């Protein structure tokens, strides 16, 4: 792994663990095993490095989600695969947690990849739901856009509930609940 990649990966981890303010250049350098000169050779400063880290986190999240969304099965099976995939629930969503970071949200440049990732997620879920409706797998009365927003909200809320109780049980219950609501939208002639 190159020095620039080590710096980005270290920043990603620290942002997830400590947030923007708690992620100091010195902590990044120590975790990456890189000196100050190396950091500033590759990045203009902490904001530039944080932006690269947030973008990479968003790209990784999209790639993992896209695997399930493009996988085999019905729309409901693919959404279930996405919602039930293995996650480090008690650490929270690395993108969702950034929405609670006032420094990231106050900076339009840092906020942009967070917003883009969550928008992509809603739009991708809506596309899978639309496909399910068109294939007759889901009831035609199901609104893909609002349903996708609900799924993302339940997922993010599930992380919050799990972290608050220090247990994955509330997350699992939230996912089971939203899947139950989706199952009730399965077309009578669908699978």
* Burial (CB count <10 Å: 0-12, 13-18, 19+), residue 54: buried
CA dihedral angle for residue 151, residue 152, residue 155, residue 157, rounded to 10 degrees:
-110
Amino acid 176: pLDDT: 97
Residues in the chain with pLDDT values less than 50: 189-191
Centroid of chain to Cα 21: 21
Domain range for 171: 51-183
- Whole-prediction pTM value? 0.90
* Rounded Cα–Cα distance for residues 153 and 127 (Å): 17
Backbone angles phi, psi at 138, to 5 degrees: -125, 150
- The answer to whether residue 142 is domain-embedded is yes
Listed in sequence order, the residues at least 6 apart from 130 whose beta carbon sits closer than 8 Å to its beta carbon are 144
Residue 124 within any structural domain of the chain: yes
Of 32, 27, 26, 31, nearest in space to 4 by CA: 32
Residues in the chain: 191
**Predicted pLDDT of residue 138:** 93
Total number of domains in the chain:
1
Angle between helices 75-84 and 108-134 in degrees, nearest 10: 140
> What local confidence, expressed as pLDDT, does residue 187 receive?
60
In a domain, 43, yes or no: no
In a domain, 11, yes or no: no
Give residue-wise pLDDT tens across range 55-101: 999 999 999 999 999 999 999 999 999 999 999 999 999 999 999 99
Q: Are 25 and 46 in contact (CB under 8 A)?
A: yes
Q: Is residue 121 part of a domain?
A: yes
Q: Which residue has the tokens 């008690």?
A: 90
Residue 6 lies in a domain: no
Does residue 33 lie within any of the structural domains?
no
Note whether residue 79 is domain-resident: yes
Identify the CATH number of the domain in which residue 175 sits: 1.10.357.10
Question: According to the model, what pLDDT value does residue 185 have?
Answer: 67
């Amino acid at each position: 792994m190159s020095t620039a990649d080590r710096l980005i990966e270290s920043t990603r981890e620290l942002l997830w663990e400590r947030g923007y303010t708690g992620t100091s250049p010195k902590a990044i350098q120590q975790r990456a095993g890189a000196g100050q000169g190396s950091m500033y050779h590759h990045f203009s400063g902490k904001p530039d490095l944080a932006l690269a880290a947030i973008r990479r986190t968003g790209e990784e999240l999209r790639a993992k989600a896209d695997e399930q969304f493009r996988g085999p099965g019905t729309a409901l099976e693919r959404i279930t695969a996405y919602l039930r995939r293995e996650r480090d629930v008690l650490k929270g969503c690395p993108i969702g947690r950034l929405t609670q970071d006032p420094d990231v949200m106050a900076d339009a440049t840092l906020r942009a990849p967070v917003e883009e990732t969550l928008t992509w997620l809603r739009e991708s879920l809506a596309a899978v739901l639309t496909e399910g409706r068109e294939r007759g797998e889901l009831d035609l009365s199901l609104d893909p856009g609002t349903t996708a927003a609900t799924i993302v909200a339940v997922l993010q809320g599930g992380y919050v509930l799990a972290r608050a109780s220090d247990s994955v049980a509330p997350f699992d219950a939230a996912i089971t609940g939203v899947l139950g609501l989706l199952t009730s939208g399965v077309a009578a002639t669908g699978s």
